[in-house]
Structure 1
Amino acid sequence: MSLLDARAGSTAVPSARFHLDPGHVLLGIALLLYPAVASPFFTFQVGAYTLIMGTIALSLMVLAGYGGMVSLSQMTVAGIAGYCMAILGINSSGVMGLGWPWWLAAPVAIAIGALVSTLIGMLAVRTAGIYMIMITLAIATAFFYFARQNYALFNGFNGFHGVPAPEFWGVNWRDPLPFYYLALAVAAFFYTAVTYAHRSAFGLSLQAVRDNPRRVRAIGFDVAAHRIFAFFLAGIIAATAGVLLVWFNGQITPGTLDVNAAVNVLVIAVVGGLRRPIGPFLGALLFVLLQNFAIDLIDPERFNTVIGLVFLVVIFASPDGILGIWDRLKAVDINKSLRPSSRRSQGS
């Protein structure tokens, strides 16, 4: 039910509630217990990295799935937040590094990332479709080359190394176990927020803008403002994941946010599925597993070819990605369970 339907048929808009179904509970328990059965490598390199990339892709899902706006600048927003952490905080590259404490640098980095995302949105929302994709791709490409060529602020091709994760409560949060739970907490928070916002007044109006912007404008809503605010919210998600990403790698370079990285975020979101917030995390899990283990079977230079082939296979099998395949399998199971009962009713 969209906001248009609510306005047309009733004054009551569905309440924004997060339904804690058994699937969410089981998934939460499994994620909490995952480090108990996984090695430090799988906990850190697979588990934590999947959560980070899934969170960045979640920001794209908010824009594309709920707003109908495909942006290729989400990794750019994450990268800007990562650069801000290296510049405002501590690094070992001998360039910049203002020495701010993490609890001050991180919120400022996220705010700057959200501001940049808002500015990108102000440029992009006047267009749609392929034009929005090209504008955001141009922005991502321009920032990549600017960061690589600027040495005064971004230290050029080398970027920043030795960016430490925070240490508090006697815990080094870059150790595999603490960092995994930190990434899990961030991912769970944004997953819950996006799921809740989906049924909120703003979420419904954003979906109405996606479905019929002309009609939404006719009933008095500011379409451009809704789209720009969606870019702001997506920027908060991507920038927070960018802070985690620079702590995960311990560094930030132009290669972190190049064109391949920007396209990878789109691939992750589409392969997982853009209809529900869990989709980007499913796509991220498949991407990270391929990234870690496909190079053992093929030349690392061929990794993008493998990703492209997987993307084609999944999309040909289901335009809705992994979630679409899962929905089809559930529909088959339901149909099988209903057939015997229908036959008995016909016999009687």
Structure 2
Amino acid sequence: MNARALLTRHNLLLAALVVFLLVLPSLATPFFVNFVMTQTLILGLAAATIVFLAKYGGMTSLAQYLLFGIAGFMFGNAAQEAGARGLNLGWHPWASVGFAIVVTTAVAFVLGAIASRTSGIYFLMLTLVYAVIGYFVFAQIVEISGPGGITSIQRPDVLGPPVRLYYAGIVLSSLAYLGFRAVGRTAFGLALQGVRDDPTRMASLGFNVMLHRTLAFTLAGFVAGLGGLLNVWWNGQIDPASISIGPTLILLIIAVIGGIASFEGAWLGAFVYVLVFTYLRDLPLIDRIGITEARFNTVIGVIVLAIMVLSPEGLTGIVRRLRRRPSARPDTTPEPTTGGSPSVRKTEKEFGVTRS
């Protein structure tokens, strides 16, 4: 089966999955749809931003959950009226949505501009510092986070019934998935992949390495902000503890479980995590032991370890191996020896660069 046929089959399977999700409310219980699946879509949307930065930019970010939370805090401050916790601006819900997205995207741009000067482990640690600083900012400045958080947050009327929030999650997840894949095929996406593989060579070709990384981080922050809005509408409240280091690392774990090199893995990892978090206590004997937060984290750690041993590429890697035909032969075509990584050569071809 050639690559085009595989791509067509892959797209058909994804389209069938979307159709199944659309009809799921008529097949499953309201609890499964409005709790398990809605939370899966929200966390998957946030985890997809980690995958985007790692897959195309070679940047593993721990700041995505902070941006996720900033959107929630900004919406709560803008939409809540007098008497509530926070700034109590009392704006129209959709004006509050615009305010939250603009602030989150602007913060992502600033943080990305700083982090773009680093790479590898230094980028990872710097984004971890962002997450720590963000937590303490909201924990200590009660004027914007409220004493104990912002509560009684109402979502827009059009999203009143819980199932509508589920459908909104499907729409935004689908748009993010298609959008991220489309970006990877644009001139910007190809240049970003070249920066990922060989930033020195890309800089010598005239590409602004830091600008590409900054813009990628900004785009990821924008999508994380959308997920943060869904999350605050789903929870109805937000507090500093919800953006602490624990949830920040959980989001990375979700991406790793599903496969950090695959967009599908973001939602697959989120689904597995939510399933374990929701139903683990109902398993035989487990309910007698009692699952505390520490024990639950231990179980998640064991699951991640088992998946990494079986497949460093996460669950999507396991799925690919199961779908692969035993008779399929690996491609033995040698790589060109003209120098540079495949993505850099593809970028050069896209922009009409000739080698000396």
| TM-score, reference length from structure 2 | 0.85
Alignment of 1:177-326 (within 5 A): 177-296=163-282, 297=286, 298-301=290-293, 302-326=295-319
* Percent of matched pairs sharing the same residue: 36
Q: CA deviation at 1:89?
A: 0.5
Residues 178 and 83 from structure 1, CA distance in 2 versus in 1: closer, same or farther, beyond 3 angstroms? same
- SS at the partner of 2:326? helix
2:63 alignment counterpart: 73
Give yes or no for the alignment of 1:114 onto 2:105. Answer: yes
Give yes or no for the alignment of 1:166 onto 2:175. Answer: no
Give the aligned residue type for 1:235.
G
Q: How many residues align?
A: 315
| Structure 2 gap segments, 5+ residues each | 1-6, 330-356
Q: Deviations over 1:264-322 (max 9, x none)?
A: 11111111112221110000000111111124434132111111111111111111101
Q: CA deviation at 1:94?
A: 4.0
Q: CA deviation at 1:19?
A: 9.2
Give the aligned residue type for 1:237.
V
- State the distance in 1 between where 2:222 and 2:86 align: 27
Give yes or no for the alignment of 1:37 onto 2:27. Answer: yes
2:52 alignment counterpart: 62
Q: Deviations over 1:135-171 (max 9, x none)?
A: 1111101111221122222114x11000001103xxx
- State the distance in 2 between where 1:94 and 1:313 align: 43
| Structure 1 gap segments, 5+ residues each | 1-16, 339-348
Aligned alpha-carbon RMSD (Å): 1.8
Point out 4+ residue stretches in structure 1 off by more than 3 angstroms: 17-20, 91-95
Structure 1 contact 174–247 (Cα < 8 Å) conserved: no
Give yes or no for the alignment of 1:104 onto 2:95. Answer: yes
Give the aligned residue type for 2:188.
F
Structure 1 contact 174–248 (Cα < 8 Å) conserved: no
| TM-score, reference length from structure 1 | 0.87
- State the distance in 1 between where 2:189 and 2:245 align: 30
- SS at the partner of 1:123? helix
- State the distance in 1 between where 2:107 and 2:268 align: 27
- State the distance in 1 between where 2:8 and 2:34 align: 29
1:22 alignment counterpart: 12
Give the aligned residue type for 2:117.
R
- State the distance in 1 between where 2:119 and 2:86 align: 40
- SS at the partner of 2:36? helix
Give yes or no for the alignment of 1:50 onto 2:35. Answer: no
Residues 194 and 211 from structure 1, CA distance in 2 versus in 1: closer, same or farther, beyond 3 angstroms? same
1:140 alignment counterpart: 131
Residues 324 and 337 from structure 1, CA distance in 2 versus in 1: closer, same or farther, beyond 3 angstroms? closer
- State the distance in 2 between where 1:148 and 1:70 align: 25
Structure 2 contact 76–86 (Cα < 8 Å) conserved: no
Aligned match for 2:144, one of 131, 138, 153: 153
- State the distance in 2 between where 1:44 and 1:174 align: 12
